[in-house]
Structure 1
């Protein structure tokens, strides 16, 4: 369930002639979300802001939103990120450049911190390669299964040109089996199995499967391994899994595959193909 208010048009934040403050933006969104009686304990923070040079006066607001949501007879806690655009006392849920057609929701993101480029996330290339590429992916996402192996195989051929960093981002609501698969892949990576991420996309399993043992059986069949339930519960595996999720949250990643090229979100996902390689 999305907590984002359905603001179909640009709305006034307040009657003030001055630029809206962070507090006003938060208050406006709280009123919109809190208007739903099934949503309580709404907490909203501004996690970052970025000016849009091509759209004078506009700023992208990166928001962290938490709330308790009642669905049926149960209540669950939801933590989501969202991007809004603010200009003076006006807020918009999306912003499109009418001259270029650029949809800023797709292209604007927080700056990619250098601390996210870790050795454990680098799956190919040299750390000092000319270009850094980061991929967030779910191994059971249909588009990912076509795109990611090709991208990995291509960039791996040019280790001085591309340093490729991979972040496990299973979409648990859509593909429950992906969570266990990614943890098994992390085990394989930590045990030194070559091309673990690349082989991950060959595992044949129902994306809706929730039986961890059945999922591991499919993984082990593909990898020729004997990874078990205890392995995917190792602290080192859990820590890496949680790190990848935190990076995704910091970078406002909501879908897969999401690609960053040299720290900037690559909506085309193909900027690496534009680089001349030797």
Structure 2
């Protein structure tokens, strides 16, 4: 569930901040979202901000939002990221270049945190390679299946040029089967299997499958392994899985594949092709 559509309307109609401070931005957003009687335990924080490149006077605010949302008789905990643009007394939930149609929400992102370049996430290349590439992907995402295997295989050939870091980001709402698949890949990776990530993109399974055993059967058929439900639930696997989700949230990742090249979000996803390899 997204809290953004209703809030977006509120912002467009009533943005009225004077030279806003971080506290004023947070307070304004809380009033907009918290006005919904179905929302409780609302927490909003500024995760980071940066000047909006090429647009004078505007700053990008990266916001994290947590809340409990009542839906009928159920209460769901929501943890979301959002991007806003602030200039003096104006705040907007979306910024679009009217000449190019480019949506800035899809381009801007915080600088990649060096602490997230971990040994566990590095799947190829030397840690000291001059170029670091971070890839967030769902193995059942159709575009990921076209892009990721070729990109990873290419960069793997040049370990002195590219250090590649991979973060599992299954889109559970769209491809529920990807959750168990990614956990299975983490499990065999921790057991010493090479190229666990690339093999993920060869698993033949209905993306809507929810039966963990059926998903693991397809996974094991592809890898020749015997991963069990107990394996994907072991603490070390869950810890790595949750770490990848934490990194994705911190970096404002919303879709797949998302690529960061040398610490900056790469909307083209192809900057690696511009590098002279060695």
TM-score, structure 2 normalization: 0.94
The residue aligned with 1:268 is 268
Residue 51 in structure 1 maps to residue 36 in structure 2 = no
1:248 aligns with 2:248: yes
Provide the C-alpha distance between the structure 1 equivalents of 2:202 and 2:36, rounded to a whole number of angstroms.
43
Quote the residue 1:124 is aligned against. 124
Displacement of 1:38 in angstroms is 2.4
What is the Cα deviation at residue 12 of structure 1? 5.2
Q: Which whole-Å deviations, capped at 9, do the CAs of 1:194-237 have from their partners, x for residues lacking one?
A: 11100001111111111111111110000000011111112111
**How many corresponding residue pairs?**
276
| Structure-2 change in CA distance of 1:54 and 1:8 (3 Å) | farther
State the shift of 1:160 in Å.
0.9
Residues 213 and 229, structure 2, Cα contact 8 Å, conserved in 1: yes
Q: Deviations over 1:182-205 (max 9, x none)?
A: 000001111111111000011111
Displacement, 1:25? 1.2
1:65, 1:82 within 8 Å by CA — same for their partners in 2?
yes
CA distance in 2, matches of 1:14, 1:61: 16
Q: Return closer, same or farther for 1:152/1:140 CA change in 2, 3 Å cut-off.
A: same
**1:118-197 equivalence runs, <5 A:** 118-197=118-197
Which deviates more, 98-107 or 71-80?
98-107
Shift of 1:175: 1.2
How far apart are the structure 2 equivalents of 1:40 and 1:68? 5
Q: Which moved more, 1:3-12 or 1:82-91?
A: 3-12
Contact 1:12 1:91 in 2 (8 A): no
Distance 2:263 2:209 in 1: 35
8 Å CA contact 1:13–1:20 kept in 2: the answer is no
Q: Which has the higher helix share?
A: 2
Q: Following TM superposition, by how much is the alpha carbon of 1:23 offset from its aligned partner in structure 2, in angstroms?
A: 2.0
Give yes or no for contact 1:12–1:89 (8 Å, CA) kept in 2.
no
- Equivalent residues of 1:52, 1:59 under 8 A apart: yes
Distance in 2 between residues matched to 1:254 and 1:38, nearest whole Å: 24
CA contact (8 A) 2:17 2:24 kept: no
For 2:213, the equivalent position in structure 1 comes to: 213
Q: Classify 1:140/1:266 alpha carbon distance in 2 versus 1 (closer, same or farther; 3 Å).
A: same
- Residues 96, 102 of structure 1: 8 Å contact kept: yes
Distance (whole Å) between structure 2 residues aligned to residue 119 and residue 224 of structure 1 = 25
Distance 1:15 1:178 in 2: 42
CA distance in 2, matches of 1:152, 1:53: 29
1:120 match: secondary structure: helix
Question: Which ranges in structure 1 are unaligned for 5 or more consecutive residues?
Answer: none
Tell me the equivalent position of 1:109.
109
What is the DSSP-based 3-state SS (H/G/I as helix, E as strand, rest coil) of the residue aligned with 1:209? coil
User: What residue ranges of structure 2 are gaps of 5+ in the alignment?
Assistant: none
Q: TM-score, normalised by structure 1?
A: 0.94
Contact 2:178 2:207 in 1 (8 A): yes
- Give the match for residue 7 of structure 1: 9
How far apart are the structure 1 equivalents of 2:13 and 2:49? 19
Change (3 A) 1:15 1:125: closer
**Correspondence for 1:23:** 23
1:69 Cα offset (Å)? 1.3
| CA deviation after TM superposition for structure 1 residue 123, in Å | 0.6
